[in-house]
């Protein structure tokens, strides 16, 4: 919580002291009430599963309700207020888990055509509070998505890897030794790992993969047929 004591958040709290989810009185300087905060599927350091080819993988939440429905609602309903709230919550989940602060955050870019259609890059908007609170740059220009890939959620694991192969192109060398890639959801990690390989080929020594949510199988009854857990 210590990262959330920003003056503007205190001001927002005084202007609108109700929980962003349920309308009850919220925790001072924080978007949610105690109950809603406690109900979220937070991940801890022990819950994280390393992804091949990255230094550290850190996600704030398990990809399950209500985070999964919030993310889908934001993506298709353009609810920017909910997006800002989820960005704050993501920072709350990720910051205490960091052992090293990277030099910069690189949100997974959207292809220009999809960006124009949607109007915003969800990964970029969710990463803003993290970059601000860590005081590090948010990289939005150096990498372009050069093919308009299919949504990963519609594909199986091998299709996903093929779908993102050579999807990214770096325009310029990056003066950083440690970069955190940020995506809204990590499922197989194929997209983030493809991007990590591009960064490492350019001499970035340490690449973290961070996300708002990660598909992690905790109990059998939580299996989601839309997700490939391998
Ligand atoms: Zn609440």
CA of 27 relative to ligand 1 center, distance in Å: 9
CA distance 219 to 223: 7
Q: Where are the alpha helices (DSSP H) in the chain?
A: 7-15, 34-39, 67-77, 80-94, 112-118, 122-134, 157-164, 190-201
pLDDT band at residue 228, thresholds of 50, 70 and 90? very low
Model confidence pLDDT, tens digit, residues 97-129: 999 999 999 999 887 777 888 888 999 999 999
Listed in sequence order, the residues at least 6 apart from 150 whose beta carbon sits closer than 8 Å to its beta carbon are 163
Two tokens, residue 70? 């919030």
Is pTM, for the whole model, over 0.75?
Answer: yes
CA of 38 relative to ligand 1 center, distance in Å: 9
Angle between helix 122-134 and helix 80-94 axes, rounded to 10 deg: 50
CA of 87 relative to ligand 1 center, distance in Å: 17
Structural domains of the chain, with CATH: 1-39 (no CATH), 43-216 (3.40.50)
Q: Is 31 helix (H, G, I), strand (E, B) or coil?
A: coil
pLDDT band at residue 1, thresholds of 50, 70 and 90? very low
CA of 34 relative to ligand 1 center, distance in Å: 7
CA of 45 relative to ligand 1 center, distance in Å: 25
Model confidence pLDDT, tens digit, residues 137-184: 999 876 767 665 666 666 666 666 556 666 787 777 789 999 999 999
The distance in angstroms from the start CA to the end CA of the chain is: 33
């Amino acid at each position: 919580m210590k990262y959330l004591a920003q003056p503007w958040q205190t001001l927002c709290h005084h202007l609108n002291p109700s929980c962003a989810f349920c309308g009850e009185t919220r925790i001072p300087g924080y978007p949610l009430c105690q109950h809603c905060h406690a109900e979220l599927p937070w991940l801890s350091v022990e819950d994280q599963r390393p992804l091949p080819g990255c230094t550290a993988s850190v996600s704030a939440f398990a990809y399950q309700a209500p985070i999964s429905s919030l993310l889908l609602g934001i993506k298709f309903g353009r609810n920017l207020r909910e997006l800002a709230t989820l960005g704050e919550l993501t920072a709350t989940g990720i910051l205490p888990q960091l052992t090293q602060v990277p030099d910069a955050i690189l949100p997974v870019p959207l292809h220009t055509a999809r960006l124009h259609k949607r109007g915003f890059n969800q990964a970029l908007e969710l990463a803003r509070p993290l970059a601000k609170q860590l005081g590090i740059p948010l990289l939005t220009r150096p990498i372009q998505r050069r093919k308009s890939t299919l949504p990963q959620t519609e594909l199986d694991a091998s299709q996903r890897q093929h779908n993102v192969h050579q999807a990214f192109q770096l325009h310029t060398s990056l003066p950083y030794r440690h970069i955190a890639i940020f995506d809204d959801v990590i499922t197989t990690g194929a997209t983030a790992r493809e991007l990590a390989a591009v960064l490492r080929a350019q001499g970035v020594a340490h690449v973290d993969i961070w996300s708002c949510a990660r598909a992690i199988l905790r109990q059998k009854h939580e299996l989601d047929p839309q997700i490939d857990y391998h």
